[in-house]
């Protein structure tokens, strides 16, 4: 991971299908990988993180929806504790799996 990047988790609970599709598209366009149905993970450049956050904010209803964006450094990511099924095997790529090994 480069110094201008951070590993970023995005977790959401979005009630409207159209809004949810827009958020999913934004996450994928930012280079994030889906690790569960409502969770994305990947490396994002610091200057793109604010852009992504604003884009998501424009796509949701802040009265009913929740989106959590957690940037973390590589050292903190290595401390992540996974229990049970770490991710949905059907949704993730080998790139994401390699982050957990």
Summarize pLDDT for 27-54 with one digit per residue, the tens.
999 999 998 899 999 889 888 999 999 9
Model pLDDT, residue 74: 74
Helices (H), the chain: 17-29, 46-59, 74-78, 94-99
Question: CA-CA distance, 94 to 86, in Å (whole number)?
Answer: 13
Decide if pLDDT at 86 tops 90.
no
Structure tokens at 12: 């959401």
Decide if pLDDT at 9 tops 90.
yes
Average pLDDT for the chain: 85
Question: CA-CA distance, 62 to 57, in Å (whole number)?
Answer: 8
User: In the chain, what are the domain boundaries?
Assistant: 5-96
Does residue 73 contact residue 7 with C-beta atoms inside 8 Å? yes
- Cα–Cα nearest to 8, from 70, 77, 67, 96: 70
- Cα–Cα nearest to 69, from 87, 46, 86, 92: 46
**Any idea how long the chain is?**
101
Structure tokens at 48: 């793109």
Q: Which CATH number fits domain 5-96: 3.30.70.240, 3.40.50.10490, 3.20.20.140, 3.30.2350.10?
A: 3.30.70.240
């Amino acid at each position: 991971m480069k110094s201008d990047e951070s590993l970023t988790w995005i977790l959401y609970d979005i009630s409207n299908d159209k809004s949810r599709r827009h958020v999913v598209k934004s996450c994928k366009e930012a280079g994030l990988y889906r690790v569960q149905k409502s969770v994305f993970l990947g490396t994002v450049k610091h200057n793109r993180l604010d852009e992504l956050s604003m884009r998501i904010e424009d796509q949701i209803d802040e009265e009913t929806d929740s989106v959590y964006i957690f940037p973390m450094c590589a050292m903190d990511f290595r401390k992540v504790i996974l229990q049970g099924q770490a991710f949905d095997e059907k949704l993730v790529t080998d790139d994401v799996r390699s982050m957990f090994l």
